[in-house]
Amino acid sequence: MVVVGGGRVAQRKVGCLLDVLAHVRVIAPTLSAEMQGWLAEGLIEHHARPYADGDVDGAWLAFAATGDPEVDRAVAAEAQARGIFANLASEPEQGSLATSAVHRAGHLTIAVNTDGLAPAFAVRVRDEIAAQYGETYAEALEDQARERGRSVGKGPLIAATRGSALAMTQTRWVAQRLAMHGIATGIEVIHTKGDRILDRTLAAVGSDGLFVKELERALAEGRADYAVHSAKDLPSRLGEGMVLAAICEREDPRDTLLSHRFDVSAGGLHALPQGARVGTSSLRRRAQLAALRPDLLFTDLRGNVDTRLRKLEAGEADAIVLASAGLRRLGATARFVHLFDSAEMTPAVAQGALGVECRTGSPVAARLREALNHEPSERCVLAERAVLRALEGGCQVPIGALAQLAGERLMLDAVVASLDGTCVVRSHAEGSAREPEALGTALAERLLAAGGREILQAFRPTEGGFDS
């Protein structure tokens, strides 16, 4: 998509496109403050100059929102001459595509659509609505959100979640458990930075909480009562004012090797020929795979579980590695499947567990914990997250940890590895299940002393716990 213009109107167009995960190229000498933020986050592409012939090449949709009708008409004329849909913000009836006229005030959004019959009339109605329903109504909406927060139990709770099939499946699972305790839930889908940036590896993005921050913002602003996360996506330190209300019962935490070409079911990694292409965007998996099979070739693989499985079927990789938990929750598989032993492929911190997050001091926290928390899983996750926190690791460092409960004892294994797999430091610790975080911190110190410190110094650690 191409948006020509860098002001407030163009910003609205870009924001809507980002919400649907579009790749957006912006042509403008300067950008609004909000768009500058999107640029800094890598969400948009910016050409810092006035519009020129050829700028719409490669697009299938062009938005002209410069504020200059002459320039907007030139953009539309070029786009339409090339068979590209064009939308003119200043003269919507002159374009080949009309969008709704939108009025926003705070979290209040009102859209007027005439099905393309009279775009100018839609703008007129929008302006009349804006004059009547301004900041006063936005403030009233905020008051209602706060009142709903104080009136927990009088209506459904709102869950914030990502929109992927796996995220929705997990959130519905949580909602079903809450319903068994008489707690109704509505779902608010949030598009995160990690969902929007798919053309780079997670490590290359180099930011923490890629799948978390927007959900935490919805909690902080009162748009949601709780958020459901894959616990491995959570940074080792939550956002300010946030708390983990519950850790749900954990699924299988191990990793799975999948292939349509080679029978890994029988031979595991050994079934792959020399030079086979293995798809993964996880540095942790790549490092441990390289240690086991340095002859393999690794290809970055981004996208949701179903997207990665389609890429495997299309032959973009000979095999891929995914979390067993996600596959089981979705009922997804491939022709040949091998489940890694945790001793050869240590899982990501908190892999297989769901974390339910809410605001600190929220009146719903105790109810969520009572209905959802699984104490054995929580103790294991706390120990693993303590390892990650003490190592100050994240997406740019290959770190894994797995805790297992045996009665009142907790067995904890962890690994730190160099990216090429030539240096792998593993350690094991056991201790009381009543002090999981102390055990995790102690094991992290043991890893550092055994050579982990030198490995970590080769990276620029980023706070965050995701491992996709």
Catalytic positions: 233
**CA separation for the pair 331, 373 (Å, rounded):** 24
**Phi, psi values for residue 455, rounded to 5°:** -65, -45
Bridge-partner residues for 405, per DSSP? 410
Closest CA to 369 of 236, 183, 240: 183
